[in-house]
Amino acid sequence: MSDVIKPLRVSNDAINDAEELQRRIAEEGYLFFKQLQNPDKLWALRKEMMSAIQEVGWLIAGTDPLDGIADVSKQCTEGDNEYHEGYGAAYRLENFHRSAHWPEVTDVIEKIAGKPIMPHPHKVARVWFPKYTEHTTPTHQDFVHFQGNFETLTCWAPVGDCPQELGGLAVIPGSHKVGRVLDHHFSLGAGSLFVKPEEHEEIDPVWHSTDYEIGDSLIFPALTIHKALPNNTEDRLRLSLDNRYQAVGDTIADHMLEPHGPSGLSWEEIYADWKSDELKYYWKNYDNPVVPKDMSFSEKGFEEALELARTGNDQAIFRLHRTVKNEPESDMAEKARGVLAEIEG
């Protein structure tokens, strides 16, 4: 496998040609647009989100929030209870939720889907600390996390410029053509699950990414293999959005109607300071079939962590400690305590 990252193909030339967009995404498993989103609106959103994050102390006090200069001693990530504070502060913002409904995004998603679409209520932002690279989002297919149906589209976009060293998203073009959910394994990175593309002959594991500028957006379906690049900067937080869209009438998994868990918030807590009611519980106007979340992917990953911990794997041991600390009452924590007692005596 080559470590060289190749450029993403830019599809702005076809932005008004639904058929060509559909042809390209069917062939390559992604569409990348320069400045699909309005930079001024995104800078304003960055200011709001980063200011909220600064207020909880994750950015150095007195610095310009737009610079995103992290207090590295506050490092934490999804799965840590400490993460609720900064992520929750940004997650409560009305404009953050509204950004997933901006017509510049939904119009192009609708062209790609060829049908009316609904943005998922479960919005996601990533607040990524520097030099925290072993927790980076690993290689995966989104279906294991978001489920519902294979046609669900993710739109990933940085809220700010995101050169490669800040850890933007990378994809393997054509990888969606495997046509199925591949076996995912335990990972310490966000989402806790990773796939090994080199285990599958039909996939040519060539990675494509770019030095993202604000407004740039990457859109891909649920089977495309992708990962985040590590945030190797000295002191900058990476802030990005990954929102999901489905055709109206398609199946949705029940957790996608709930807030993103790492925010630690309920809808009522999120809505507390909103000025408008328009987007509150908007999905109740749609009649999409709802299915329960399939827990088998995460359960399998956790069982692997238990096994690996028994063999002395440091990342798996770290994961078990994280579970015991953050979800002490869960069944997983019960199992984790058992294995930790075996190995640590």
Ligand X SMILES: O=C(O)CCC(=O)C(=O)O
Contact range with Fe ion by CB under 5 A, out of 125-133, 136-144, 179-187, 259-267 = 136-144
Residue 59, helix vs strand vs coil: strand
Return the one option of Fe ion, ligand X, none that residue 332 interacts with (CB less than 5 to 8 A, by type): none
> Residue 73 is encoded by which pair of tokens?
């001693």
Let me know: does 288 contact 251? Beta carbons within 8 Å.
yes
Q: Is 109 in the site for ligand X (CB under 6 A)?
A: no
Nearer to ligand X, 122 or 226 (CB): 226
Q: Is 240 in the site for ligand X (CB under 6 A)?
A: yes
Nearer to ligand X, 175 or 240 (CB): 240
How many other CB atoms are there within 10 angstroms of residue 129's CB atom?
A: 24
Q: What is 260-312 written as a DSSP string?
A: -GGG---HHHHHTT-S-STTTTGGGGS---EE---THHHHHHHHHHHHHHHTT
Q: Is 228 in the site for ligand X (CB under 6 A)?
A: yes
Return the one option of Fe ion, ligand X, none that residue 169 interacts with (CB less than 5 to 8 A, by type): ligand X
Q: Is 142 in the site for Fe ion (CB under 5 A)?
A: yes
Q: How far apart are CA 112 and CA 108, in angstroms?
A: 6
Residues 122-141 as x/- pattern, contact with ligand X by CB under 6 A: ----x----------x----
Return the one option of ligand X, Fe ion, none that residue 126 interacts with (CB less than 5 to 8 A, by type): ligand X
Cα 4 to Cα 140, 163, 170, 238, distances in angstroms: 19, 15, 12, 22
Interface residue with ligand X, options 32, 156, 245, 302 (CB under 6 A): 156
The 10 Å CB-count burial string (b at 16+, else e) for 313-322 is: beebbebbeb
By the criterion CB under 5 A, which residues form the site for Fe ion?
142
By the criterion CB under 6 A, which residues form the site for ligand X?
126, 137, 142, 154, 156, 169, 190, 226, 228, 240, 242
